[in-house]
Amino acid sequence: MKLTPNWKTTLTSAWSVRLLILAAVISVLPVFVSLVSPDLLGLDPLVFAGIAALVNLIAIPARILVQPTSGLWPAFRRDESGAVRKRTIGVLAGGSVALASAISFIGQWEGLRTEAYRDVIGVWTVCYGETKGVRPGDSYSKTECDAMLAREIIAYEAALDRCLTADVPTGMKVALVSWTYNVGPAAACRSTLLRKANAGDLTGACNELPRWNRAGGRVIRGLTNRRMSERAMCLKALKA
């Protein structure tokens, strides 16, 4: 676990925090009153409990609505949603259209082979580069291969979400998951690309993708083409 990047601002300016503190104080008051004098404030302890519950409930919309101190109040009035955007955690896993887009995009770069084969180092492989439990003679339909790829995409998205704290458009998420699928979550999470994205420089993050076009210290044309395609999808999603 780690603190959110804006934890100081949240603690000092979020109305939800203020309301939760007020609720905690109100919750303690009945105990204090019962120990000192039941009639000290002229209110029944049940009334205090009711007020505390109400304040806690108010804290929920206070946390999700745009707040004046955030600088987004004008946008709140213009936008019909009236709420702060959430991180796109699991957007591919939770949306059939988004997942289908990811399967199509990543699948074209991974290449589909429905019959098991030995890769360049002799490992039995099938579908979109699947190696787990693959044996000689294994054969799958495209639908089965797509299902395998979908499971891998969801797993890689979950790994990426552990270090991607910024909210990004779905198209950009597809591009980043494609890149992570190719380079691995560990490398992705340590990258300048992720640091830029988490700092809010989404365009800068997209433009980092072409730098990941080497293997064994050499520029690989196939990787260059893939990175350029990922960057194009990434930037297009930002413009949309």
**Catalytic residue annotation:** 110, 119
d(CA 22, CA 17): 9
- For the record, the structure tokens of 228 come out as 């350029």
